[in-house]
């Protein structure tokens, strides 16, 4: 039996496996610039975050209808359940779909078709987190939040993702303030490729409750001290860091040092269709390659529920 865990850093569009991408392409009459799934998999050799994002946004072209989003999410939830995930807080990128003329309603209603049945079908509770693309304008983020207003009963929080460097958190101060006033929880990617300063800014300017990645905090001992003291959860994604070359190899990942330092770490799969593993695979990999003990793995699993947005009593029940 795999350890029970919560997945807190998962882009639903990043769970699009090549087989489903071709199936949806055929269903929707979309032509992909790859001969077959094998040719597509060949393209999964990334130099950095941007080279991945280019393919990630390109493949999204196959997602067009509510049923497409439902099928995508249902396939993820089945896989996650098989790997011990009992709770998933799922990111989605509405601006990337709006760019193709796919509205907020199609995306949220579609995802909800799968999420609404997930507890009974897969034994996985879920939350939805709307992410703003940080390489788009602050005005576009504000419009996106407005477009989400009719769906806020199904959206738990907001996040910030896409190309990090050159797009500091402070650019999104206003939209995060408005979201907070609407009762939304707040997270942001920071310190994946961007500097430690972006982590500080995400905390101080955006008021985030968790930091997605946060890897580069290790360059700033004072910041590490603060994150430890304030018990700020980090949603690390070790397999993603290897594939996007934030670290040279998995064996070089600072996760053991981060746990030693007392940071509240969780491990997650980010974009599992692209980075070679779902939640259970990621736990197995850090166990095998980084030599984390069974006790450390249990700590990571416990942290994932502690850092989740589950209500306290529900959180205890699931653990
Ligand atoms: C992402 Cl790995 C990563 N980083 C930033 N934005 C993203 N969107 C999807 N995957
Ligand atoms: Zn991410």
For 254-301, the DSSP string reads: SHHHHHHTT-EEEE--BSHHHHT--HHHHHHHHHHHH---HHHHHHHH
CB 311 within 8 A of CB 33: no
Distances (CA, A) of 32 to 21, 25, 56, 131: 9, 7, 13, 26
| Ligand 1 atom with least separation from CA of 162 | 6
The reply to whether ligand 1 has any atom less than 6 angstroms from the CB of 212 is no
For the chain, list the domains and their CATH numbers.
5-308 (3.20.20.140)
17 lines ligand 1 (CB under 6 A): no
In angstroms, the Cα distances linking 273 to 38, 49, 79, 152, 254 are 13, 15, 11, 28, 23
The rounded distance, in Å, linking the Cα atoms of 225 and 233 is 13
Residue nearest to atom 4 of ligand 1 (CA): 162
pLDDT digits (tens), the chain, 319 positions = 899 999 999 999 999 999 999 999 999 999 999 999 999 999 999 999 999 999 999 999 999 999 999 999 999 999 999 999 999 999 999 999 999 999 999 999 999 999 999 999 999 999 999 999 999 999 999 999 999 999 999 999 999 999 999 999 999 999 999 999 999 999 999 999 999 999 999 999 999 999 999 999 999 999 999 999 999 999 999 999 999 999 999 999 999 999 999 999 999 999 999 999 999 999 999 999 999 999 999 999 999 999 999 976 676 666 6
CB 303 within 8 A of CB 259: no
ipTM above 0.95, yes or no: yes
Which residue among the candidates 7, 17, 164, 192 is catalytic per the annotation? 192
Burial status of residue 38 (CB atoms within 10 A of its CB: 0-12, 13-18, 19 or more): exposed
How far does the centroid of ligand 1 lie from the alpha carbon of residue 313, in Å?
31
Atom of ligand 1 nearest to the CA of 131: 8
Q: Which of 214, 191, 207, 310 minimizes the C-alpha distance to 265?
A: 214
d(CA 19, ligand 2 centre) in Å: 22
Ligand 1: residue whose CA is nearest its atom 6? 162
Is 174 a known active-site residue? no
Residues of each annotated binding site for Zn(2+):
9, 11, 189, 270
pTM of the full structure: 0.98
């Amino acid at each position: 039996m795999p350890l029970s865990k919560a997945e807190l850093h998962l882009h639903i569009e990043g769970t699009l496996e090549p087989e489903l991408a071709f199936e949806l392409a055929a269903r929707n009459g979309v032509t992909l610039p790859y001969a077959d799934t094998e040719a597509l998999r060949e393209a999964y050799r990334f130099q950095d975050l941007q080279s991945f994002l280019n393919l990630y946004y390109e493949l999204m072209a196959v997602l067009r209808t509510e049923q497409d989003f439902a099928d995508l999410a249902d396939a993820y939830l089945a896989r996650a359940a098989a790997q011990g995930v009992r709770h998933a807080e799922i990111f989605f990128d509405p601006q990337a779909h709006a760019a193709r003329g796919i509205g907020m309603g199609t995306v949220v209603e579609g995802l909800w078709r799968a999420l609404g049945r997930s507890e009974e079908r897969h034994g996985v509770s879920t939350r939805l987190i709307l992410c703003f693309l940080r390489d788009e304008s602050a005005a576009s983020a504000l419009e996106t939040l407005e477009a989400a207003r009719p769906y806020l009963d199904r959206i738990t929080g907001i996040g910030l993702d896409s190309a990090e460097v050159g797009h500091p958190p402070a650019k999104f101060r206003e939209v995060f303030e408005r979201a907070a006033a609407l009762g939304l929880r707040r997270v942001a990617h920071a310190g994946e490729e961007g500097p430690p300063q972006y982590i500080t800014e995400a905390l101080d300017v955006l008021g985030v409750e968790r930091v997605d990645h946060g890897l580069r905090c290790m360059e700033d001992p004072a910041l590490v001290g603060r994150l430890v003291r304030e018990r700020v959860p980090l949603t690390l994604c070790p397999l993603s860091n290897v594939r996007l070359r934030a670290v040279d190899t998995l064996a070089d990942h600072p996760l053991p040092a981060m746990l030693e330092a007392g940071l509240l770490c969780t491990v997650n799969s980010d974009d599992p269709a692209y980075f070679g593993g779902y939640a259970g695979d990621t736990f197995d990999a850090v166990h095998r390659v980084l030599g984390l003990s069974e006790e450390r793995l249990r700590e990571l699993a416990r942290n994932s529920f502690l850092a989740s947005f589950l209500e306290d009593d529900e959180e205890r029940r699931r653990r």
